[in-house]
Amino acid sequence: MPNEQEGDFAVLLKDRARLTKVVMASHPFDVVGWDGYLYPFTFNANDFEPITGTVHLPPPIHQTFEIRGYVVCTFAPRWLDHHPEAVKVPWAHDNTEADEVLFYVRGQFGSRKGVEPGSFTLHPQGIPHGPHPGTTLKSFDAQRTEELALMFDTQYPLQLTEEALALDDPNYPLSWMG
């Protein structure tokens, strides 16, 4: 049950060895489902500006968080590579040390066909993947992308639940065949 009291409520925040006292106008337990932590910051993906270069840069330039066991990358709207011969979509690759999960939030995804907002893709460790046929050449004229997607690269292989397996699209691997 949330505590909806109003008044002055002192909360002590710990950042490494430093303690900071914050006084709140309402009780910090005024939410349903509180997990026991107060997060003193927000992250707006619309304000994130990844590094761009003359050629396509690898995903770590999109990394926004590193947590024990995985990293989070934010593919936010951005200018694309500016070399006249730059391939502006990810090259074919496999993740030798991570499972890769992408959640597509909005926009047109230049390297993928048939992926729409709300889609999830999973590329398990060691499985080659990359741009769909035709998207590499199409990328040469692109100057900017308005896509927004989140990627999670995991340190350990993911164990899929029965519910996740039920969502599998058996045609997804065939989408690279053109």
> CATH number for the domain including 97?
2.60.120.10
* Judgement on whether residues 67 and 152 belong to the same structural domain of the protein: yes
DSSP 8-state code for residue 135: H
Q: Per residue in 112-122, is it b (16+ CB within 10 Å) or e — as a string?
A: beebeeebebb
Considering the domain architecture, whether residues 34 and 62 belong to the same structural domain is answered as: no
Question: pLDDT truncated to tens, each residue of the chain (178 aa)?
Answer: 677 888 999 988 887 788 889 898 888 877 666 566 666 667 788 888 888 889 888 878 899 988 889 999 999 988 888 888 888 887 778 888 899 999 999 988 878 777 889 988 898 998 888 888 888 888 888 888 889 999 999 999 999 999 999 988 888 888 777 6
Q: What gap in Å lies between CA 30 and CA 6, rounded to an integer?
A: 10
Determine the pLDDT at residue 32. Answer: 63
Do 26 and 80 lie in one domain? The reply is no
**Do 87 and 144 fall within a single domain?**
yes
- Report strand pairing: 99-106 vs 120-123: antiparallel
Please report the pLDDT score of residue 91 as a whole number.
Answer: 76
Contact between 115 and 151 under an 8 Å Cβ cutoff? The reply is: no
Residue 86 CA to chain centroid, in angstroms? 24
Could you say which DSSP state residue 65 is in?
E
Domain co-membership, 84 together with 5: no
The pLDDT score that the predictor gives to residue 5 is 86
If asked whether residues 116 and 168 sit together in one domain, one would say yes
Which residues is 149 bridged to in the sheet? 75, 104
Are 4 and 53 found together in one domain?
A: no
Number of domains in the chain: 2
Say if residue 70 is in the same domain as residue 22.
Answer: no
Same domain, 153 and 66: yes
Residue 69, pLDDT score: 92
Whether 103 and 53 share a structural domain: yes
**CA 84 to chain CA centroid, nearest Å:** 28
- Does an H or E element contain 33, and which? none
What residues make up the domain containing 36? 1-40
Same domain, yes or no, for 71 and 105?
yes
Q: Which two tokens stand for residue 135?
A: 């998207």
Angle at 56 between CA 50 and CA 59, to 5 degrees: 55
pLDDT score, position 74: 93
Task: State whether 145 and 123 are in the same domain.
Answer: yes
